[in-house]
Amino acid sequence: MMSPEPAKSIEGYLDRWAATRLSCEPADRATAEEGVRLAYLAADLQPPERIIWCGGPLEIAAQLASAPANAVIGANVRTELYCNLRQRVGLLSEIFRREVIVAAMKLAAHSDDGATMGVYEKCNLVSDAIHRHVHDAANEALAGLHVRARHLILRLRGQPRLLPRWSFEETAIGPCEFASLGIYEYMHEVSSSKDLTSPLRGLWNIGASAGWVLPHERVCWISERPSLLLIDARGHLHSADGPALRYRDGWSAYAWKGVPVPGWMIEHPEQITPFTIDATLDPVLREGMIDIMTPERFVRSGVPHRISEDKCGILWGKQWTHRGVIIGSWLAVEVINGTAEPDGSRKRYFLRVPSHIRTAQEAVAWTYGLTAEEYARLDMRT
C-alpha cells in the first residue's frame, strides 16, 4: 500500500501539471525534440528524419493535407508511439496507478478547500474543450476538396496503401493524451520500480514542453502551445469579448461557458435577436445566445410568455417546435433582490430553471434545492 508521505506530494505535482496544461508560454523546442527522439526509440522506431514545427494544430493539419504520399512521410505511428507504450506501461503498473489516484481523491476530500482536485478537474474541462475545437477544425481541413481529389487519384492508380488517415483524432497526440500520462510520471518519481515507467520519458518531455504532435515514420510535426487560453471560474473555455483560444498559427476558436460558438456571436452580439434565436435548432447554442443577449432583454423582447406570477416572482417561458415536435424550452424566474442598493433601488435577477417547473414559487424553491412545499413552510417560519 502507498505510504502517506508520497500521497501528500500529489497536491503540488497535480498543480504543476495543471499549470503546464494551461500554459501559453512558447514551447521549449529543444526539450520537446529530445522527447520526440526518446519516444520513437522507446517504441522501437528510428527517430524521424525531420521534425517540423508549426504554430498550431491547424497548421499541422494543413501541412498534412498537402503533404506528399505516405511513401515520403512514412506511415502514421501514433498507435506505436502512444497507445502501445501506454498499454505496455499500464499493464505493468496498473495497481500502483490506482493507489495513486485513490490517494489523490482522499487527499482532496480531506483538504480545507478541495483545491487539489478542483484545479486538476478544471484543466480536464479545458483540455476536453480544446480537443473538441481542434478536432472539428482539423478534420474539416483534412476533408477539403483537394484532399479528397488526391485520395481519388491514388485509388485510381491502385495505391491505397499511400493514403493517409483522414481523422485528426486517429493521427495526432494532444494535451489530453499527454496529460493522461502524467500520473505515470508521478509513479516514476515515487516508485522504486522506475524501469516500469521510464519508456514514457519522451512523451512526458513533449507534453510538458509543447502542444500537439503528429508523428509519422519519417516526419514528425509538432506545434507550439496556444498564445491565448481563457477560462471562466468553473474551468470552462470562455471569453465574452473575443476568441477564447488562439494558436500562434493565427487559428482561433470562440467559446461561451465551454460551448463552441460562431465568432459573430461574440464579436457582434448585437446581431443576436429573437429571430436568430428562433432560427437556431441547436438547444445548447440557443441557450448561449440568450445568455449573451441577457435573459432580461430576451424577456423584454416579448418572446417568452408569463407562465406564473406569485409573491416569489414571475416565471417566464418559451418553447420551440420543429414540424410540430417540441425541440427545446427555456424557463427563468424573475426575482427582486431583497437587499436594496445604496440609492434605494432593488436589482432584478433572472434565474434559469428546469423545464418541468410550473410556478414562480417552485422555481425559487428549486434554486435552494427545496420543493415548493418545503420552501413555503420555511417562508412561513420567517
Q: What is the pLDDT of residues 98-128, one digit of tens each?
A: 655 565 555 545 444 444 445 556 566 677 7
Of 14 and 134, the one with more pLDDT: 134
Judging by DSSP bridges, how do beta strands 325-336 and 259-260 pair with one another? unpaired
Domain boundaries, position 200: 4-229
Residues 213 and 314 in one domain: no
Q: Are residues 204 and 92 in the same domain?
A: yes
Residue 2 has pLDDT above 70, yes or no: no
In terms of DSSP bridges, do strands 252-253 and 348-353 run parallel, antiparallel, or are they unpaired?
unpaired
Q: Are 188 and 323 in the same domain? A: no
Indicate the residue type of 248. R
Same domain, 196 and 83: yes
For residues 222 and 322, state if they share a domain: no
**Residues 131 and 174 sit within 8 Å (Cβ to Cβ):** yes
Assess whether 42 and 167 both reside in one domain.
yes
Q: Are residues 190 and 317 in the same domain?
A: no
Number of domains in the chain: 2
In a domain, 273, yes or no: no
Last residue of a domain, one of 177, 210, 229: 229
Domain end call among 229, 255, 282: 229
Largest interatomic CA distance in the chain: 83
Backbone angles phi, psi at 343, to 5 degrees: -90, 5
In a domain, 302, yes or no: yes
Contact 283, 290 (CB under 8 A): no
Residue 123 is predicted with a pLDDT of 64
Domain shared by 26 and 154, yes or no: yes
- Same domain, yes or no: 201 and 337: no
DSSP E strand stretches across the chain: 50-54, 213-215, 219-223, 226-229, 245-247, 252-253, 255-256, 259-260, 305-310, 313-322, 325-336, 348-353
How far is it, in rounded angstroms, from Cα 74 to Cα 216?
Answer: 6
pLDDT at 94: 58
- Is residue 146 assigned to a domain? yes
Q: What pLDDT does residue 117 have?
A: 42
Residues 221, 300 share a domain: no
Please tell me the predicted confidence (pLDDT) of residue 173.
93
Identify the sign of the CA torsion 139, 142, 146, 152. negative
| Residue 199 pLDDT exceeds 70 | yes
In a shared domain, residues 316 and 217: no
Is 343 within the bounds of a domain? Answer: yes
pTM: 0.79
**For 40-54, 132-146, 306-320, which range has the lowest pLDDT when averaged over its residues?**
132-146
Q: What is the dihedral of CA 148, 150, 152, 153, to 10 degrees?
A: 170
Average pLDDT value for residue range 362-368: 93
Domain boundary among 200, 229, 258: 229
Residues 206, 67 within the same domain: yes
Identify the CA nearest to 215 among candidates 30, 73, 29, 59.
Answer: 73
Residue 15 lies in a domain: yes
**Mean of the per-residue pLDDT values of the chain:** 82
d(CA 108, CA 85): 30
